[in-house]
Chain A
């Protein structure tokens, strides 16, 4: 398994290189540049700025330079956040995003899987319909609605009660400040996971091997947990890979609503500002996470289904 693991990590290098290359040139193809403003800068100042950041060099040379710096762990300076390097920006924001994202992921799995399993086992009952209606609602109501709504409830209506919660700010990661953003972030994922779990478990419960397990006279609880559950988790794991990347890299909407200093906003602002180095930085981060999570998902498959082997 370790050989497989290291080989997969080794293969990740060319994959990352392709991502970096495509992102680098795509970014440069986009019209405009980091120093364009509504009121254009005088040409001499523009030329000086470009020279300072190396943008006056031929594109291929910039690319080679960027790769060279990257190999030394240098992501370059941000073009927009003056006096900050990309490493510093990500270094400050990522811990916030990853902590919120991990908490939301944990919550989504902890609530979503039991909810979906319950709905599957009580298929077509009132509880099933209720759970799935709530799940559907969770999926269709966007988080820019849920966020302010939560803020309204816990910040205004319940202000005088023990349930009052801070609605904005990170406050050095104080627990009460994290609750609302984590819930808001987790809700749609709870809903998706519940629906996937339900559908998958219902399908698994109809398989021949579950029928065999029942014919053995095993208690139903054991039939579900021992014979059905593992196979039923395969689609959930498939979904969890990309979902985790999404959660860990922060959400611009939620970080904006709750005033959190995460990296979610860099994805959007970086692109809008043509902050070339920052966009490259977050792209590399996201791509690395995708590669890593795909590897974890594949390892999980092998655990869930012995037919899958590390080749």
Chain B
């Protein structure tokens, strides 16, 4: 499969009063048309910043190095003007918090229409009609009436549908959904996930799903990449990763997920805390929390390598060898 969005050796760092912090280190990822890539990790693991860099939306104190290519255009080296021809049109983002991500003083219809007016130069009338079509497509009831409403007049679920509609306005090749369901009620979460599934099937766009919720990944993604302390520690197909995770961190994450079909006394946890990015442990960042840690992990950093099963992991521990 040809990849639409390719990230190569991306590093993102932030200048802070306490010194530079590297939030993303040497990340390479790609996602193809019609494919959904899930990106999992704890807060602060760098999963959001990876794609903020792709959108040119890093905070002012952030810098990115490496390459992010969308169909041959390097988004990292593009200037604001060039970037503006791409974002919203060919690459769009759905943000986490629909309560605060819509402009409070603009009617929903106008906020939707302006995307297509900007990128396709259509008139206001056409923009409004397209906005209406799009609201229908994301199953917003009484779409005509909603066009003239302000965001605060809509429920959280409806607002997130509006956010999705906004991302879809120009039928982008890449859609980045950053924790699209985190801020919503559980029942509404399911509806939004169904909608994203529908978008994936109907639009054939490449979807990047950033989340800390493994359940969301299992339901929607084809491939999954796991991030820890700014690096990818495991990558593989969703089926393989969930059936037989190869990195101890992923194994820990999956073990932590509560299951209804197994009786347990207490929920599993991964011992310890996520590391401070300003003072990462030597060697493998995960070694202080790792159940399989040995000397090499403290001295050397493991690189992401393919395992015989076709998955990738950045870990020295080998279960087969250990068993011998």
Which of chain B's residues have a CB closer than 8 A to the CB of A231?
104-105
Q: Digit string of B84-104 for contact with A (CB within 8 Å is 1, else 0)?
A: 111111001101010011111
A72 at interface (Cβ–Cβ under 8 A)? no
Known: A216-B88, A219-B84, A306-B152. A208 touches B100 (CB 8 A): yes
B134 at interface (Cβ–Cβ under 8 A)?
no
A288 to chain B, nearest CB (A): 31
In-complex Cβ contact of B103 among A213, A215, A220 (8 A): A213
Is residue A159 within 8 Å, beta carbon to beta carbon, of the partner chain?
A: no
> Which range holds the interface residue count of chain B?
20 to 34
Interface size range of chain A in the complex: 20 to 34
Q: A306 with B150: in contact, given A216-B118, A227-B106 (CB under 8 Å)?
A: yes
Q: Is B114 an interface residue (CB 8 A)?
A: yes
- In the complex the two chains form, is B101's CB within 8 Å of A209's CB? yes
Total residue contacts A-B, CB cutoff 8 A: 75
Q: Is A226 an interface residue (CB 8 A)?
A: yes
Near B by CB (< 8 A), chain A positions 189-248 give 207-220, 222, 226-227, 230-231
Query: Nearest-CB distance from B103 to chain A (Å)?
Result: 4
Query: For residues 72 through 128 of chain B, which have their beta carbon under 8 Å from a beta carbon of chain A?
Result: 80-81, 83-89, 92-93, 95, 97, 100-106, 114-115, 118-119
Q: Confirm or deny: A88 has a beta carbon within 8 angstroms of a beta carbon on chain B.
A: no
CB contacts under 8 Å to A, within B9-64, are 55-57
Excluding A208-B100, A216-B87, A305-B105, 13 further A-B contacts by CB distance (< 8 Å) are A207-B100, A209-B101, A209-B103, A211-B101, A212-B95, A215-B88, A215-B95, A217-B84, A217-B118, A218-B88, A226-B114, A306-B152, A307-B152
**Chain A interface residues toward B at CB < 8 A:** 207-220, 222, 226-227, 230-231, 304-307
**CB pairs A–B below 8 angstroms (19 shown):** A208-B97, A208-B100, A208-B101, A210-B103, A211-B101, A212-B102, A212-B163, A213-B103, A215-B57, A215-B92, A216-B114, A217-B83, A217-B87, A219-B118, A220-B80, A222-B118, A227-B103, A306-B104, A306-B150
